Structure 1
Amino acid sequence: MLRETLKKEIDQLSESQLRTIADFVALIKKQQGLTQNVPFWQGATPMERAEDFRGWVAQLSQTGLSLPDQAFERGNIYDG
């Protein structure tokens, strides 16, 4: 009975309200995964994994520093 009532309510929600509900459901799933000792990547949907990865990338340093092009040349890899 509760399931049918919720389905009717969901059908009347706006897109932004649906996004909030989806975020809440994802949070519940994540909490269940933590209590079951399931790694995040194993229990997450591809979309959740992508969002998690983007969040991780956003936390990386924004210095713009990288290895010089010379470091990627095959001959230089084996020089020691």
Structure 2
Amino acid sequence: TPIPDLCRNLTGKLYADKGYIGSKLTEKLKRSDIDLVTTVRKNMKRKVMSAFDRAMLSKRYIIETVNDQLKNISQIEHSR
């Protein structure tokens, strides 16, 4: 995955969806001082998460919606 390369010069928290759950990626990012925060799948045990992290994960939907709209606008403008 391109995630470690994209986060090369970053530190802090990275909020992601369930598709990024994995111990290898989590450990690789942890070595770079990045804390991967994700929700859990239905078949997984719940994990303790701060209220702030829960709120930030819930805002991902808004951010992804805006990014999708920008991408669509860009593709329309580019095709003209």
TM-score, with normalisation over the residues of structure 1?
A: 0.30
More strand by share: 2
Structure scoring higher RCO (CA < 8 A, sep ≥ 6) equals 2
More helix by share: 1
TM-score, with normalisation over the residues of structure 2?
A: 0.30
